[in-house]
Structure 1
Amino acid sequence: MAAELSLTRLAGSESSERLIVVGPSLGTSVAMLWRDCVQALGSEVIGWDLPGHGAGRTAAGPFTVQDIAGELGNRVAALAGGRPVAYAGVSFGGAVGFELASRRDSPFDAVVCIGAARRIGLPGMWHERAALVRRAGTPVMVEGSAQRWFAPGFIVRKPETAGAMLKALAETDRESYAHACEALAEFEAGAAVKPVRVLVGEHDVVVSPDGADRVLGGCGHLPPVEDPVAVAGVIAEVLEEMRCPTTKA
């Protein structure tokens, strides 16, 4: 990895019976994306940030989805202390989830990929976006992301929440963002060997709901911020279905 992953405890404590790790979407802070969702999960919840995003250290060079999955797996294995561990990630974080699910040595007992697919978009699109951001900075992505991230009407209903998310995007390090785009350009998930479920918002224009295990009504590309209660409920259901420990407090 060109930059060590930054991990942040978002809820619970080391004494919690289980550990849930959550991952971010490109251009987001994991703490902001998952803030309203994690309190309902009744577990220790640790989030990781992409390099140059949120609390993440700026990338010193290129990185891949596989790099992040490898470091995350090693770090989480040391933190788990023998507890059951589950993972939920959004978009880029979901791509990391697919990679974790393909690794037999992954410490995760269950993986939930939200707003993600085994390949997200086409390589040329990601390389074009990386070049644009290197030239113009991440603020150039705000207008388009406002349209892609949220379901129709969300910005009107929750202007402060949407505004904070878009401000965090504008403050993201441009080179780190570009490296993340290039990582997605090269990534295609292998076959899963761990249980994995795919959740996609009804109005997601980045990833098609076709083929998802669950479609989240009224959501776009960032369901944890758009409908945190529903997402927490679905994660709880999925964990039970996968025979993970109950998510009751």
Structure 2
Amino acid sequence: MTEPMLRGLALNQIAGAPTGSTAKPALLLGPSLGTGAKALWGPIAPLLAGHFDLFAWDLPGHGGAPASTGDFSMAELASAVVALLERLRADGTIAAETPVYYAGVSIGGATGIQLGHDHPGLFSGLAIICSAARIGTPQGWTDRAELVAKAGTPTMVAGSAERWFGPGFIESHPVVSADLLHTLQDADRFSYAHACAALAGFDLTSGLGSITDPLLAIAGAHDVVCPPSDAEFLAAHVANGRSAVVEPAAHLAPAEDPEATAALLIDFFTTQGAPRG
């Protein structure tokens, strides 16, 4: 089950108040496959820190997190996030009365969809970034898992550089892009393959109608993995959703355009995700 497979999830407090403070709501941040919390969310953290206490989790085998020991499902990954939040509540890091929001990118966004489906009401609002109710195809993820398990994550670097970033981003932001690609290169190959297996089995397209949490779906205009049409579909099929597009971005909007992404998140969460007429 979740704990033996995932050994828990590694947590990073990117920016926040002292333990037990309730001055700000909490925002739990989820990763994209191949990235680490600090590399992905570091560029946007200063813009969000005035509004939220920021906590981020890393996938198994990514960003220094312990490796997974076998395949896991998206439902199990979501349950591990729930266990992480419960620990933060239990030790007083996040007070019982403090609102908690969730934002995740790609597989982290898919985890957010799973959380809304399996654990309604746990979060006061969900932001699903550069993600979808189904990402790619089961065969595509199975093939990738087999390749990476055999040859390692460096085989993914060139293709990910093309998919992750909008036009000209690598040239104009060499440090940010290099940090993200180095995290991918250093990720544990088997943990990466296990995450691919989770995505191969993930499809909540028929279950979106049961998600009642306020939900914002954000897409990058240049994202070929999860294009804006996926965000629009999400927003249209949950009970309380809306969508937005970050124009310069491809698949990693928080790192590619921190200002635009932060503005969307702050507006959405500070209005409790209330729909606009």
Whole-angstrom distance in 1 between the partners of 2:87 and 2:188? 29
- Whether the 8 Å CA contact 1:104–1:194 is kept in 2: the answer is no
The 5 A counterparts of 1:205-244 are 205-210=224-229, 211-212=231-232, 213-242=243-272
- Whether the 8 Å CA contact 2:103–2:128 is kept in 1: the answer is yes
Quote the residue 2:39 is aligned against: 32
- Whether the 8 Å CA contact 1:101–1:195 is kept in 2: the answer is no
1:148 shift after superposition: 0.2
Whole-angstrom distance in 1 between the partners of 2:250 and 2:114? 23
Aligned residue for 2:226, secondary structure, equals coil
Aligned residue for 1:102, secondary structure, equals helix
The 5 A counterparts of 1:2-151 are 2-3=5-6, 4-13=8-17, 14=19, 15=21, 16-41=23-48, 42=50, 43-79=52-88, 80-81=94-95, 82-151=97-166
Task: Tell me the alpha carbon deviations over residues 187-237 of structure 1, each in whole angstroms, 9 at most, x when there is no partner.
Answer: 112321211111000100101112431010110100111011111111001
Consecutive unaligned residues in structure 1, runs of 5 or more: 245-249
Instruction: Tell me which of 203, 206, 214 is aligned to 1:195.
Output: 214
Aligned residue for 1:28, secondary structure, equals coil
Task: Tell me the alpha carbon deviations over residues 103-132 of structure 1, each in whole angstroms, 9 at most, x when there is no partner.
Answer: 345521100000000001110000000011
Aligned residue for 1:56, secondary structure, equals coil
Whole-angstrom distance in 1 between the partners of 2:118 and 2:46? 29
Aligned residue for 1:48, secondary structure, equals strand
Consecutive unaligned residues in structure 2, runs of 5 or more: 89-93, 233-242
Identity %: 40
Structure-2 change in CA distance of 1:208 and 1:199 (3 Å)? same
Aligned residue for 1:184, secondary structure, equals helix
Q: TM-score, normalised by structure 1?
A: 0.94
RMSD of aligned alpha carbons: 1.4
Aligned length: 244
Task: Tell me the alpha carbon deviations over residues 50-89 of structure 1, each in whole angstroms, 9 at most, x when there is no partner.
Answer: 0000131111111111111112123214423220010000
Matched residue type, 1:207: C
- Whether the 8 Å CA contact 1:126–1:181 is kept in 2: the answer is yes
Matched residue type, 1:76: L
The 5 A counterparts of 1:150-189 are 150-189=165-204
- Whether the 8 Å CA contact 1:9–1:45 is kept in 2: the answer is yes
Matched residue type, 2:31: P
Aligned residue for 1:151, secondary structure, equals coil
- Whether the 8 Å CA contact 1:73–1:106 is kept in 2: the answer is no
Whole-angstrom distance in 2 between the partners of 1:177 and 1:147? 19
- Whether the 8 Å CA contact 2:144–2:196 is kept in 1: the answer is yes
Matched residue type, 1:18: P
